[in-house]
Structure 1
Amino acid sequence: MTKTNFDQFFLNNTAEGLQSFQRLISESGHLLSDYYKQQTQVFNGKTPEEIENDIAALPDSSLRGEDPSVVLNEIMQKVVNNSIHVSHPASMAHLHCPPLVPAIAAELMIAVLNQSMDSWDQSSAATYLEEKMIRWLCQKLSLSDQADGTFTSGGTQSNYMGLLLARDHFCEKHWNWNTKIQGLPPESHKLRILCSENAHFTVEKSASQLGLGEQAVVKVKTDKRKRMDISSLKEEIKRLKSSGFIPICVVVTCGTTDFGSIDPVDKISETAAEHGLWLHMDAAYGGAVMLSEKHRGKLQGIEKADSITVDFHKLFYQPISCGAFFVKDKRCFRHLTHHADYLNPEKEDLPHLVNKSVQTTRRFDALKLYMSLRLVGEKNFSDMIDHTIRLAEQTAEFMKQIPGIELSNSNPELNAVVFRFKEGRDPDELNMYIYKKVLHSGLALMAKTKVNGQVFLKFTLLNPRTTIKDMEVLFHSLIQFAEEYNFEGVAK
């Protein structure tokens, strides 16, 4: 019986391993480069059923292993060709960014090294580089030396951690109750979390996972610019207390998903401090303006937050997934810490980053951000962010000149523009028709949402390569689709 040479399947110091690695990486790189050289559309326009059938036609596995060129070509045809191309200037649907080339290169290093960030003996150098990046980010956020943080998978995890700490901090401080050991206290059903009516859905999701229930989340009214209304916040706190409920936390949103709206941090922090409430800042979207020379003032007051969410796979242009969570007082991480003899013994004098995370196995994502900052530079980051915000402003101004367009956020704070075509037999049906036509024509990728129950369209302008000329050309097609719908009298 012939023994298989496993060296060819792993990157190692043997000729077989090195040749296998170099061939596969080189061929993948050439195929992707050639594809992007020819690629002109953000999406090929296929229906969900067509793409599902293409994927179903792929073999499940191979008994003996196949030729790399055969497999790579099938993947290019069935997977890559059927994918959304987020690097295209016309990809403007979601908070889904084009990844930087240095970050893509870092992804390869991360995969090769395969460090696990939970214990020092699984991530020796990686541990110190992550901590170095956390310190740098804390400085950028104007946090004190008492602050700390950890890299996360993104906003969902970070928001969950913020509300978990808010809950456990309150229970310990006011009831001398250790939820980590004792579970939820008897009066936990009275705990309440306040956020704006445009806050991210993960506030409610986190509350349900933390045993408080979605009922614990109280939505505060917003002003005309979709920002939390301070007077309404104060009224809600007063109402809750008079009804026997216990407010414990206010969530400030710096960049709502639909509108990019930024809640007034300073004023909310004053109210939170007055009532002894934990202040969590969801800056998953808007946190990137910390690098903007022109717009960083929009984060004024962020240093007052007890916990902060920032995503790097949005306006920091990092491949998914890459985010971070920060606390004003590093001692709060004690609510997350658990010790295991095999992993992070309690009295061992080594930095085990699992002590600051709800994850155990965790990627070395800090390397992506570090390489990007070194190779791109802070000045270019600032210019890219400023360009996209200016593009949103220019796009809104352009739309104001077009009859029959309704803008939901006529003065964008970040780089999202929400609008609708309001004239026609059925405006909701009209806007859905335009959305589908744009998607399946491959012209662009934009999002749809609802404002006051009505269908609106949305541009999320994250790509610094997108220009106002691109927007004007695209909008000409949108107008043609609207006329087509209204003249034909049927939705296709």
Structure 2
Amino acid sequence: MTSLWQARSHLFNDRTAGDYHRRLAEGLRRVRDRISRVDRPFTGITPTQLAARIGRVDLDRPLGGAAAALDELEELYLRDAVYFHHPRYLAHLNCPVAIPALLGELLLSSINSSLDTWDQSAGATFIERRLIAWTAARIGFGRGADGVFTSGGTQSNLQALLLAREEAAHVSEPRVLTGAAGHFSVQKAAKLLGLGPESVVVVETGGDRRMRTDALAAELERYGGAVIAVVATAGTTDFGTIDPLPEIADQCALSGVRLHVDAAYGCGLLVSPTRRHLLDGIERADSVTVDYHKSFFQPVSCSALITRKGGDLRHSAFHADYLNPARVAAHLPDQVNKSIQTTRRFDALKLWLTLRIMGADAVGLLFDEVVERASQTWELLADDPRFEVAARSALSTVVFRFLPDEPELADQANRYARKALSASGAAVIAGTRVDGREFLKFTLLNPETTIEDVADVLDLIAEHAARYAALILEEPHVPA
């Protein structure tokens, strides 16, 4: 039976500071040792195997000590985690993280500030506000801009459409226009906001996978005053393409329609020393989504919604005497009234320490490196007759597929190659569908990934896909 004294010994305070240091040091040592030994991004373990291990844990019987718990965690998590820092992790929008940001993660978790009210956060409130102002200036917004940190792009896009809906509350059948290559969170946000499935109108993209401005003009004319927002994308998830922001901004201005730019992925260009011009026009948006945990090498979560007019955030406000009494709100910063969350982590600290230790230029150089690597990869694929490559990315994704000698087997062969590669643990890549066909995708966000790494992974893909095509000809029932 655990005593109250034993229970209290686990709480972090002045009396347990020494134990805190020892336990965290042991945890850090374990992570250091594991990272030092990782030789592939994944072990290939199956969901069935891992679920069985974790299912056997009796959560009502604690192990008693940190060492035993960390030993167990080695088996349940650390050994089989997907390691984004490995140069052959090429799947999703997951970046290796900057050490200054990890320092921030340790500090913010230990102090455990909550960013909803001043009396729970003090200096943390002003650090977040300063970073919002810094990001707004990088976008090109004026001094009246504002914003708030969020859990990610999905939440930022949800809040952006909430603001758009409230700004156009008089519209009875609202419509939101977004590109065909845009993020699914636009449709999800519309559903959560009760706008109805017909409220999101998908605007056609061209062969370059960017929103067609002639198609946008047609939809704006078709729906007229019912359009409450146009959502442009600066960095589509699959293709890394950037919609023509200046032309879209012109059309929105002419129609009097609110413009939101989802730059969750492309926000890294804000600090790029060579490619910032790719975001020209973003300064004319009414709101912008940025995901620092995609393109600024930050741990999840670290994101924000930035608004050109700070007053727009009033639509997120709700009065509660226990959080924001009038006598306090009158002279102290009140972040809770800008957010759709109440309790919020001090995620801004990670970005703050990154900028104060590394600097924005260093982050931009790293992002430029992965964009350059994607360009090299596209050229490598374009010159390789084994593969077909899709639209060229402005950022760091490459969409392609293997072409077997039997074209009718292409979909199955590419699907099989992706699964076989993951099962081997040699590399992790993503898959998607383009015009109804199976494609593979590299998302390059690791500056340590070399073009030699990419070439080796392509050879592995070709081997797996060709093997499948040969097997299926011999035995038609081999699963893809």
TM-score range, shorter chain: over 0.9
1:313-348 CA distance string (max 9 Å, x none) = 101111111100011111111111112111111342
Q: Equivalent residue of 2:92, what SS?
A: coil
Provide, for residues 189-238 of structure 1, a one-character-per-residue CA deviation record: whole Å limited to 9, x for no partner.
x2111010111111111111111112100000001110000001111122
Residue of structure 1 aligned with 2:319, choices 319, 339, 362: 339
Q: Does the CA-based 8 Å contact 1:8-1:20 persist in structure 2?
A: no
Are residues 1:293 and 2:294 paired? no
Give TM-score scaled by structure 1 length.
0.93
AA paired with 1:329? Answer: K
**How much has 1:40 moved relative to structure 2?**
0.4
* 1:366-417 per-position Cα deviation (integer Å, ceiling 9, x unaligned): 10001111222222212111110010010010111211311112x2200000
Residue 262 of structure 2 aligns to a residue whose secondary structure is strand
Q: Do the aligned residues in 2 keep the contact of 1:166 with 1:278 (CA within 8 Å)? A: yes
Per-residue CA distance 1:139-182 (angstroms, 9 max, x = gap): 111110011111110101100111111111112xxx4xxxxxxx
1:111-126 counterparts in 2 under 5 A? 111-126=109-124
1:65-118 superposed Cα distances (whole Å, 9 cap, x missing partner): 512111101101111112111111111111111121111111111111111100
- Are the equivalent residues in 2 in contact too, given 1:55–1:79 (CA < 8 A)? no
Residues matched between the structures, number: 470
- Is 1:399 equivalent to 2:398 in the alignment? no
> CA separation in 2, counterparts of 1:69 and 1:6?
17
Q: Which residue of 1 aligns with 2:158?
A: 160
Residue matched to 1:183 = none
SS at match of 1:314: helix
d(CA) in 2 for partners of 1:36 and 1:481?
A: 28
Quick one: which of 326, 332, 356 aligns to 1:374?
356
Q: CA deviation at 1:7?
A: 4.6
CA distance in 1, matches of 2:421, 2:233: 30
TM-score w.r.t. structure 2 length?
0.95
Q: Which runs of structure 2 are paired with 1:314-353 in the superposition (5 Å)?
A: 314-348=294-328, 349-353=331-335
State the identity as a percent. Answer: 39
Asked whether 1:259 is paired with 2:239, we answer yes
* Structure 2 residue 255 is matched with structure 1 residue 275: yes
- Cα pair 2:240 2:393 within 8 Å, conserved: yes
Q: What residue identity is the alignment partner of 1:317?
A: F
Do the aligned partners of residues 3 and 415 (structure 1) sit closer, same or farther apart at CA in structure 2, a change above 3 Å counting? closer
Equivalent of 1:439, from 413, 422, 425? 422
Q: Structure 2: which amino acid aligns with 1:468? A: I
Aligned to 1:180: none
User: 1: CA distance between counterparts of 2:75 and 2:320?
Assistant: 46
| Residue correspondence of structure 1 range 10-409 to structure 2 within 5 A | 10-14=11-15, 17-62=16-61, 66-171=64-169, 175=170, 188=172, 190-241=173-224, 246-348=226-328, 349-409=331-391
Shift of residue 58, structure 1, vs aligned partner: 2.4
- Tell me which stretches of 4 or more aligned residues in structure 1 moved more than 6 Å: none
Task: Find 1:450's aligned residue among 408, 433, 448.
Answer: 433
Cα distance in 1, alignment partners of residues 235 and 60 from structure 2? 43
Identify unmatched segments of 5+ residues in structure 2: none
Post-superposition offset of 1:12: 1.6
5+ residue gaps in structure 1?
176-186
Work out the CA distance in 1 between the residues paired with 2:326 and 2:395: 44
Q: Is the 8 A contact 2:389 2:400 kept in 1?
A: yes
Give the Cα–Cα distance (whole angstroms) in 1 for the partners of residues 319 and 43 of structure 2.
Answer: 50
Write out per-residue CA displacement over residues 248-307 of structure 1, whole angstroms, 9 at most, x where no aligned residue: 210010001100110011100110111110101100010111000111111111111011
Q: Secondary structure at the match of 2:305?
A: strand
Secondary structure of the 1:4 match is: helix
In 2, Cα distance between equivalents of 1:57 and 1:401: 51
Q: Is the partner of 2:221 in helix, strand or coil? A: helix
Letter in 2 for 1:115: S
